[in-house]
């Protein structure tokens, strides 16, 4: 097991940025930059032992400094959407940036995906770890309270990438951290992901409206194209004339309701790519998982090695509390108070067969 560090460039205001590469003895490696905590590469073997990068992104920092769809980034303070860019807490209303139509998305104009984190190598019993820390000041992007955030990435000996999130605050606030990695188990730039076989360990999902904000209902997946309780190709029903698949450019961009353990990550999803044989299993302590099928990718983003990312060339499995939880009291709470510690864990486990 090893970790190395190299210069990755500078931000527009001159802050130096590094790239850290974690490797294990099986040949797997993960590269992470402290700009946005972005996962730049995930290289894992297929059934023949061939190593490929299975996450979308850029070869250099300049790509991440420009406009892009949150490739591989830590998302916060609050991941996903907040309706109307506002929420109430302790009888006071807070106004946030509306950076997604009339809604607030992924932490705002300058969320955690666009800041430079402090980085250090950390000890791990089962692999190599990189610990990232960031202090978000009171009022940053409109959120109350100063919060101290820590995200630890660990590449294990068994080709799993574990992400441990924690945070504390000095004032009541809301928080909902996730990672926005785009996966293609056939390899970065290998085309669409419609042939990937997906199982979601979830019998319920959150229906959304035209603005992709949950209505507040929690519906059964039974007899709908949202049913992935048994392995089904992502593309099998993605173009059906179901109301939930017609918003925006069409496709999946929904949160499924999981059966989590508060202390031990539970199986949330399993994805198999039949040509390479690669398998991705997602384990989490979170109550929800957002499947996004790259609907807004349109070929204008040029990624690694000059490859253009077209519609549905990657999928995301974002573990999270439910979108817009701060405005829906019956959803799992995203409130963090002084004296409490926010903790969640997600594991992306790779194999092949």
Residues known to be catalytic: 180, 318
Which of 254, 68, 275 lies closest to 192 in space, CA to CA?
275
Distances (CA, A) of 30 to 20, 38, 131, 187, 244: 8, 11, 14, 14, 35
Pick from 124, 107, 137: nearest CA to 37 = 107
Distance CA 64, CA 66 (A): 5
C-alpha–C-alpha distance, residues 153 and 299, integer Å: 30
**Residues sharing a CB contact under 8 Å with residue 176, sequence separation 6 or more, in sequence order:** 76, 77, 78, 79, 80, 320, 321, 325, 334
Q: Exposed/middle/buried for 93, CB within 10 Å: 0-12, 13-18, 19+? A: exposed
- Cα dihedral 71, 74, 76, 79 in deg (nearest 10): 60
Residue among 286, 275, 139, 94 at smallest CA distance from 197:
275
- 226 in Cβ contact with 236 (< 8 Å): no
CA distance 123 to 197: 35
The token pair at 122 is: 């950390």
DSSP bridge pairs for 352: 278
What is the rounded distance in angstroms from the CA atom of residue 202 to the CA atom of residue 39? 26
């Amino acid at each position: 097991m090893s970790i190395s560090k190299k210069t990755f460039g500078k931000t527009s205001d001159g802050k130096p940025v590094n790239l850290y590469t974690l490797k294990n003895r099986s040949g797997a490696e993960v590269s992470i930059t402290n700009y946005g905590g972005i996962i730049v590469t995930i290289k894992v073997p297929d059934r023949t032992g061939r190593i490929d990068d299975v996450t979308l992104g850029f070869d250099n920092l300049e790509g991440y400094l420009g406009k892009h769809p949150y490739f591989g980034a830590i998302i916060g303070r609050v991941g996903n959407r907040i309706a109307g860019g506002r929420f109430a807490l302790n009888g006071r209303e807070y106004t946030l940036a509306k950076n997604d139509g009339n809604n607030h998305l992924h932490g705002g104009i300058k969320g955690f995906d666009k800041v430079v984190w402090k980085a250090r190598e950390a000890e791990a019993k089962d692999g190599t770890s990189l610990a990232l820390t960031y202090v978000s000041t009171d009022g940053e992007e409109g959120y109350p309270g100063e919060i101290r955030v820590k995200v630890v990435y660990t590449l294990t000996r068994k080709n799993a990438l574990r992400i441990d999130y924690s945070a504390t605050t000095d004032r009541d606030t809301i928080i909902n951290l996730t990672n926005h990695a785009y996966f293609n188990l056939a390899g970065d730039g290998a085309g669409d992901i419609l042939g990937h076989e997906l199982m979601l360990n979830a019998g319920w999902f959150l229906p959304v409206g035209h603005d992709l904000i949950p209505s507040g209902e929690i519906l059964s997946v039974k007899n709908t194209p949202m049913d992935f309780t048994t392995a089904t190709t992502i593309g099998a029903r993605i173009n059906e004339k179901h109301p939930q698949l017609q918003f925006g450019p069409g496709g999946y961009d929904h949160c499924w309701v999981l059966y989590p353990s508060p202390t031990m990550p539970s199986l949330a999803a399993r994805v198999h790519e039949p040509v390479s044989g690669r398998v991705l299993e997602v384990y989490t302590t979170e109550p929800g998982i957002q499947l996004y099928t790259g609907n807004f990718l349109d070929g204008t983003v040029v990624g690694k090695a000059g490859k253009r990312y077209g519609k549905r060339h990657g999928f995301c499995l974002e573990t999270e509390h439910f979108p817009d939880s701060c405005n829906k009291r019956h959803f799992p709470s995203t409130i963090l108070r002084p004296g409490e510690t926010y903790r969640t864990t997600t594991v992306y486990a790779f194999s092949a067969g």
